[in-house]
Structure 1
């Protein structure tokens, strides 16, 4: 019987254990450039079977929060090279999460102060983070403009170029962020997509951007280095779909034959309840649909996992378990899980922006 601490193969990724550090936005990359402090942060957590970086913008247009990193300029690639080299020297594996936020942005973060872009001109009733001398400030997102159909191929190419840049930066692979109400998720779901062209209406049309992005990235770097993150029912960033089960069954059936490294599923509300009475979803059926369609990639589960729940998930057939906020305060989470604790408590006041405090100064066992 598989254990949380057993090694596992996820296509081309050979992982020392089944514990994954989930992507966590920390807003510590001024001018979108990764720093040596970020290298320290990730290296401290390199005992995870896999590190997934904080979401990383594929373009200036794709940025939605202050001081998040990018992968579209030479200095950003150079900054990430310092991170990946340090993680690899510590024996870790690391992929980066490729991100276009779509409508979850603010004009002050966009090129030329323009409006964010989205499938439809529908504002997200959510907030984003700007940094001021007084610290992080949460502000309403700006109303987006609807993308012209002629602009979409350029965005697909931004994803492809970012994936190539990730390999140049030394990453072991990439994760496509298609979750949590950001651009790809906005196209998928009816609450944000009211288009009447080839990217709107039917499930197949709404999934078109996801297919095009995934096809472009796997063609550029090989499917065995590519994972994808999905969140069927999370309300994060004001996202909703009228009928998510057939939508995501369709999505995983497309993904299955591609030979991806993994499929990363957020169960329930991101960072919140694992089950939503008003948004029921059958995750076992989703995994079965993926496997029945020939999917061989690792199945990664995420949201609110502790040791007992993670062990239960692995026993039940999950290949990988992602831990999010637990990793903020516990850089040696693998050792702490193996020992059954104790666990440091995270300081929420240091989640977004700042320096070492609440970032690289959490103690390890025996320290």
Structure 2
């Protein structure tokens, strides 16, 4: 007997899994299809930073809700609330910091400006050249490498079917959606495309063009070091995130770009990006100059021209949906996935979604 699922979710990252869990809780029968392993795309290779200080103002309500979702997951995802400082080293950077963090605080983030004396009392190993700093007690991190394990377990707990190593080859629309995959044919009444940087390719199978591009963010990790910092550290420009794990390793990121395209598989690390990223980290924390970098890697982050999410009905379809391109998707992902699940269930989402059919020329900031 042919099984026709209520919905096929293409993409087994944080957002796709969170949406599937919400829909299953609402009585639907979803199936999750992932081209790799659950949670091993962008969801599993980012730095795991959960900082409200680096989120866009308009997305702050979603980031706050997402942050609370990670806190509820707790130890299962390696959640740590450490507090976080964002630093400025010049007067121009201080002006930028003040402008940006003031707006974020007005949007609801518990951000305050702190004296350099307070900063040095908490983090004495940071550079003495800091001229201004902001602080958010809610900032912290999770262990992104645990993402897949956590969500795979949740899918199993809720008896939600999933297929890994399942490449989508074709999508045909008739009485139901017929998805031809590398593991066979799947039938579903509805469709949710939540494939991250691969959303554009998936939508093209339905002859829908989405203006999706991809950033190739780089993350590096050091060898184990003596205790240097206890907080998440950022920079006013957004070009640095830094945290030290319990095992002593330091993770360094900040959106520095590698090379490649999602269709080609994993991106390539570029020395021309890693070196200035590490140099900035060493400038902020001189003790890091004694550390060896053990590994650097990349992860794709999808975006559209206005850098706001795609979350809603796929243009031209009333039974197909798209979810992705969320800037700060690791933090926001669990919550916006829940919102999408509610939307597909016919419920009014707690916060507004982001129409994928909007006019990007007018909406660009």
Q: Do they superpose with TM above 0.5?
A: no
Q: TM-score w.r.t. structure 2 length?
A: 0.28
Q: TM-score w.r.t. structure 1 length?
A: 0.28
Structure with more of its chain in strand, by fraction: 2
Pair member with larger Rg:
2
